Chain A
Amino acid sequence: MDAMAWQLLIEGALTTLWISGMAIAFGVVAGLAIAVIRMMKIPFVDQFLVLYISLARATPLVTLVLFLFLSLPALGINLDKTLAAIVALTLNTSAFNAEIWRNAFRNFPREQREAAESVGMRRWTYFRYIMLPQMWIESLPALVNEMSFLIKGSPAIAVIGVVDLTRVTNRISSVTYEPLSPILAAGLLYVMIIGCLLKLQSLAERKAKRLAR
């Protein structure tokens, strides 16, 4: 392994990071939106979302990525492979995040809402300034856990030719014919990325514990 190989690995790691980062950002927001819509219990929409969550949680990422990348062009929607990767990861992670957010909704104490209404707070103000900050702290450990799952699942995007941290090892070994060291080096980079997230998770857990209700 020379400097060139390391440079390729770092580039792969950056690809993994930015694609996963986009999916995490969209996924956390989309999950919250799905949870909010599900709390409204609109007929048909609710059943549809339940079906979506159930399907998205059962579908392997590899299958989902291939499905989106190959079958959407047949329906007239052309996705660039990076975009297809981001959409697939987002669809997957937002289903898990929706469940996390919904859990936070359901565990939220009623009294706070009554108190807010008694001082004449509007629903949006109550949600934005009272519910959301507490729900955020409460859900953060689970959300970070889901983020590390997303990174662990992200090598699936290699299947449609995105050169991420896993696929880059094939590139390097096709030149050097020595696959072992790039794979171990990629593993090391993954350990560093996911190790940071695990550290963040334990920090978030400590913070959530302090929010004793």
Chain B
Amino acid sequence: MEQWNIVWAARESFISGLWVTLELFFIAAVVGLLIGTVLCYAMEYQHRVIDRLIIGFVSLMRAVPFLILAYLFYYGLPELGLSMEAWTAGLLALVIYHGAYFFEILRSQRRLFSSGYIEAAVSQGFSRYKIYRRIILPNIFSSSLPLLGNQLIICLKDTAFLSIITVQEITAAANGVQSTWFIPFNAFIVAIALYWGISVLLELLIKRLSIYGAKRGMTHA
């Protein structure tokens, strides 16, 4: 019982850790999704060189662990005179890495998207941007929701890697508390419970969004 009292007394560090994790996760998710969407739009032009570049970049990201990218930004780039704080380097790595994965998910759904819709829109005089914005994007977003949800949870879990490059997020906070008071069991149980709570909330959010998508008539999800 006493150990839980210590955890309670150290709640400040857990709260600030939780805050850092949420902040990193939220920015990475929003900007990453934006990158995925923009890259997916760039593929609409079917420009051979651009397509090759995008696919090459995404394949590279898919074959590399997240931590190596974070290492590259935090430890590697200073050698070229580009120094960043751990938080910035970590966020940049999260955004680039998960942007590539979000793009890959959207592209897989884009390929399955029936071309009949697009032909209909073209015949109605929609511009390329309008077709993407009004027809393709809502549909592929809706049908890739379960996959995007999984990727969001992976993104949340990848923030824990950033404790290795000294970002003070939940895991680093738990590690700090346990090494000060020697209560490893309790400290990490709290950290795991926090991650679990966030991912349960995320799953609920995705479920809500799919119900919303189905209501708007995007049923082939």
**Chain A positions near chain B (C-beta within 8 angstroms):** 54-55, 57-64, 66-67, 70-71, 74-75, 151-156, 158-159, 166, 169-170, 173, 178-180, 183-184, 186-187, 190-191, 194-195, 198
Contacts and interface: CB of A to CB of B under 8 A. Distances in A.
B75 A183 contact: yes
Contacts of A152: 64-66
A138 B137 CA distance: 32
A194 B174 CA distance: 31
A147 to B, nearest CB: 13
Nearest to B193: A55
Given A60-B158, A60-B160, A166 B68 contact: yes
B161 A194 contact: no
A178 B79 contact: yes
B79 A180 contact: yes
- B interface, size bucket: 35 or more
A156 B60 CA distance: 20
A170 B70 CA distance: 13
Given A62-B160, A63-B174, A184-B76, A71 B184 contact: yes
Contact of A173 (B65, B66, B75, B175): B75
Contacts of B41: none
B188 A190 contact: no
Interface of B: 60, 62-68, 71-72, 75-80, 153, 156-161, 163-164, 170-171, 174-175, 178, 184-185, 188-189, 191-192, 195-196, 198-200
B196 A59 contact: yes
Label chain A's interface by main secondary structure: helix
B67 A155 contact: yes
A71 B185 contact: yes
Contacts of A159: 163-164
Given A71-B184, A190-B65, A179 B192 contact: no
A198 B104 CA distance: 14
A74 B76 contact: no
Given A66-B171, A166-B68, 14 more contacts: A58-B192, A58-B200, A60-B161, A62-B164, A66-B188, A67-B192, A166-B71, A169-B75, A178-B79, A180-B77, A180-B79, A180-B80, A186-B68, A191-B64
Nearest to A193: B63
